[in-house]
Amino acid sequence: MEFSKLAGVFEKLEATSKRLELTDDLAELFKATPENEIKIVAYLCAGVLLPEHHGVDLGLGDKFAERAIALVSGKSVKEVETDYRKTGDLGDTAERFATGRKQTSLSRATELSVKKVYDNFYKIATLTGTGSQDLKIKLLAELLSASDGVQAKAIIRFVTGGLRLGIGEPTILDALSVARQGDKGLRPALERAFNMTSDIGLVAELFFSKGIAAIEKIEPQPFSPIRPALAERLDSAEAIVKKLGKCAVEQKYDGLRLQCHKAGNRVEIFSRRQEPMTHMFPDLIEKIRKTRCRNAIFEGEALAVDEAGNFLPFQQTIQRKRKHGIAEKGEDLPLVLVAFELLYLDGKDLTNEPFHKRRELLERIAAGSGVEVSRTLVTDKEIDVQKFFEESVTAGLEGIVAKDLNAPYTAGARKFAWIKYKRSYAGHLADSVDAVIVGYYIGKGKRTKFGLGGVLCAVFDESERRFKTIAKVGSGFDEKELASFFAVLEELKTKKKPDNVDSVLEPDFWVKPKVVITIVADEITRSPTHTAGATETRSGFALRFPRITVLREDKKPQDATTVKEIEDLFELQGK
């Protein structure tokens, strides 16, 4: 397929925010895509080269892209930077310079293909060693020199993480169904396949080559992460028992959620966002290896413990997520792995089995391995649920998770199969909020020397695939954190508001929505200042007295608290 076709569709997708139009345009693209290229087209539409668990990250900085644009256009890097300051978008700058080239490059004698673009992207992402930076610039420049303005814009926006397509995997799955059947009727089967594999390209390829029958046969396989199930919220033991009746009540741990995969002697560990993390936790590998099974996929929480075996706060556990100094930090902060779900065992998919059966098998394989199993109570009495909750909070845990004994594992979904009841309910706001930083304010007074005074934060609107502001936060930092945050945000600073951000407020600087933080607040209020949950007739939601508690490096921006969850929290707060 010619890359001009894909770039043209990207241009069209960026111009609309209507879900139906986005789906139809994508469906037409998939219809026109050769079967042997549908996989890479699906990846590129999702803004990735490969799924997260492959560990391949393109993520080039603006400075890198500026050098490639300068090399192709004959301009200086300074001239490129000057134009970038005017446009506020490096993709627009690339388009202007590509359109303005006086001579057509020799490499434009043949049309740039999607496969060529993807192959160069992959080489750029995987090159290492001496001279790799210069070679990466040449590979990017090669694509730009063969591009017209629209293609150059798409290329630069992709490599710098600035695509504005307004779509996610759900829209791609809808479009795949429409492309083959004319409607969204095949979406449930496609979504289940994606939840089992976390691989949108694999699902698209299998669907187009072998049809829906092959999609329906997809089962979990070791080393392909399953998308995690998520919990709903309720505000009391009474509400939980009313909703579930007899249920399993587990202690809720504030650690790193991990998915552990074992096949024979091989063990791999993935984060909740499906990053490969095996190398970070050598102290857990042997425990997982000793589980009483040949093959398994199970979930657990890794928690740092002190010398007495007491669980430490998440802020200390997260220090184990690192690239360097792993052995030393492992000695300082040893980990306990507490398993709570079993999804696959010795060739059998357990995701459709009832929870009570999954739990029984989990206890059996964990026995004697060193992997602990979450403490659980089975009851239908609210007094027992409340007592277990209070015991858990007293022990320093977050609270409890109640589970429907007969429910399957709801991969990739938030349902009442799991219900969390957290200690923060004793305060004003029913839960903490995971928000994405979309801008920051310059420090003043005592904070002048740190550069950072506060941050503008947003939650995720799933229906619109956009980030909508909910709080301006200036507390919860210590001096060390202020300096650290400022360094991170400086790298993500952008010339103008990101297109996938809705905001009435104007921070001193906008940043790409990449950093997730956890915020606690006294309550949720209505406010015309923020856009989360706002409509033409209703003000948005805001957090009253928000404080940052921790940087959530284990979460992607799309894992942030959603607008729908904020609405639910607002209702819980009213009760």
Q: Is residue 225 part of a domain?
A: no
CB contact burial 326-353 (16+ within 10 A = b; e otherwise): eeebbeebbbbbbbbbbbbbeeebbbeb
Torsion of CA 485, 491, 492, 497, to 10 degrees: 100
Asked if 418 and 247 count as a contact pair (C-beta separation under 8 A), the reply is no
Co-location of 239 and 368 in the same domain: yes
Asked if 16 and 22 count as a contact pair (C-beta separation under 8 A), the reply is yes
Asked if 37 and 3 count as a contact pair (C-beta separation under 8 A), the reply is no
Q: Is residue 176 part of a domain?
A: no
For residues 553 and 435, what is the distance between their CA atoms, to the nearest angstrom?
12
CA angle 298, 300, 305 (to 5 degrees): 145
- pLDDT at position 574: 67
CATH number for the domain spanning 349: value is 3.30.470.30
Asked if 276 and 55 count as a contact pair (C-beta separation under 8 A), the reply is yes
Asked if 191 and 413 count as a contact pair (C-beta separation under 8 A), the reply is no
Co-location of 530 and 547 in the same domain: yes
Helix (H/G/I), strand (E/B), else coil: 570 = helix
Give me the residue label for tokens 């075996």.
309
Domains in the chain, number: 3
Chain segment 91-121, per-residue pLDDT in tens: 999 998 887 664 444 445 468 999 999 999 9
User: β-pairing, 247-252 with 399-404?
Assistant: antiparallel
Q: Of 377, 402, 426, which closes a domain?
A: 426
Catalytic residue of the set 252, 287, 403, 468: 252
CA distances from residue 237 to 376, 399, 478, 488 in whole angstroms, order as listed? 15, 11, 36, 41
Classify residue 465 by its DSSP letter: T
Q: Of 360, 394, 426, which closes a domain?
A: 426
Co-location of 470 and 326 in the same domain: no
Closest CA to 270 of 311, 330, 321, 208: 321
Co-location of 506 and 539 in the same domain: yes
Co-location of 418 and 554 in the same domain: no
DSSP codes, 195-220: HHH--HHHHHHHHHHH-HHHHHT---
Asked if 106 and 124 count as a contact pair (C-beta separation under 8 A), the reply is no
Q: Of 426, 450, 467, which closes a domain?
A: 426
Angle between helices 114-126 and 38-45 (to 10 degrees): 60
Q: Longest C-alpha distance within the chain, in Å?
A: 79
Query: Among this protein's residues, is 323 annotated catalytic?
Result: no
Co-location of 325 and 397 in the same domain: yes
- pLDDT at position 494: 85
Closest CA to 376 of 395, 394, 396, 356: 356
Co-location of 280 and 389 in the same domain: yes
Is the C-alpha dihedral spanning 93, 97, 98, 99 positive or negative?
positive
User: β-pairing, 433-441 with 454-461?
Assistant: antiparallel
pLDDT averaged over the chain? 91
Q: Residue ranges of the chain with pLDDT lower than 70?
A: 17, 59, 100-110, 424-428, 430, 445-451, 478-480, 574-575
Chain segment 428-469, per-residue pLDDT in tens: 576 889 999 999 998 776 666 666 888 999 999 988 889 999
Task: Identify the burial level of 28 via C-beta atoms within 10 angstroms of its C-beta, where 0-12 means exposed, 13-18 middle and 19 or more buried.
Answer: middle
CATH number for the domain spanning 57: value is 1.10.3260.10
For residues 547 and 538, what is the distance between their CA atoms, to the nearest angstrom?
25
Q: Is residue 362 part of a domain?
A: yes
Would you tell me how many other CB atoms lie within 10 Å of the CB of residue 504? 12
Q: Is residue 438 part of a domain?
A: yes
Co-location of 275 and 420 in the same domain: yes
- pLDDT at position 424: 60
For residues 52 and 56, what is the distance between their CA atoms, to the nearest angstrom?
7
Co-location of 262 and 369 in the same domain: yes
- pLDDT at position 87: 81
Q: Is residue 143 part of a domain?
A: yes
Co-location of 115 and 68 in the same domain: yes
At 67, the amino acid letter reads: R
254: Cβ contacts below 8 Å, ≥ 6 apart: 301, 303, 311, 313, 314, 317, 397, 398
Locate 85 and state its tokens.
Answer: 């300051």
Co-location of 374 and 260 in the same domain: yes
Q: Is residue 200 part of a domain?
A: no
Asked if 247 and 376 count as a contact pair (C-beta separation under 8 A), the reply is no
- pLDDT at position 104: 47
Co-location of 257 and 399 in the same domain: yes
At 213, the amino acid letter reads: A
- pLDDT at position 102: 45
Is the C-alpha dihedral spanning 359, 361, 366, 368 positive or negative?
positive
Closest CA to 490 of 469, 516, 509: 509
- pLDDT at position 60: 79
Domain span at residue 487?
A: 433-574
Angle between helices 237-244 and 382-394 (to 10 degrees): 130
Closest CA to 338 of 367, 369, 368, 373: 373
Q: Is residue 6 part of a domain?
A: no
Element (DSSP H or E) covering residue 3: helix 3-14
CATH number for the domain spanning 474: value is 2.40.50.140
Closest CA to 534 of 431, 441, 464, 435: 464
- pLDDT at position 448: 62
DSSP codes, 240-255: HHHHHSSEEEEEEP-S
C-alpha gyration radius of the chain? 25
Asked if 459 and 513 count as a contact pair (C-beta separation under 8 A), the reply is no
Q: Is residue 278 part of a domain?
A: yes
For residues 18 and 20, what is the distance between their CA atoms, to the nearest angstrom?
6
Give me the residue label for tokens 């904020």.
566
Would you tell me how many other CB atoms lie within 10 Å of the CB of residue 39? 21
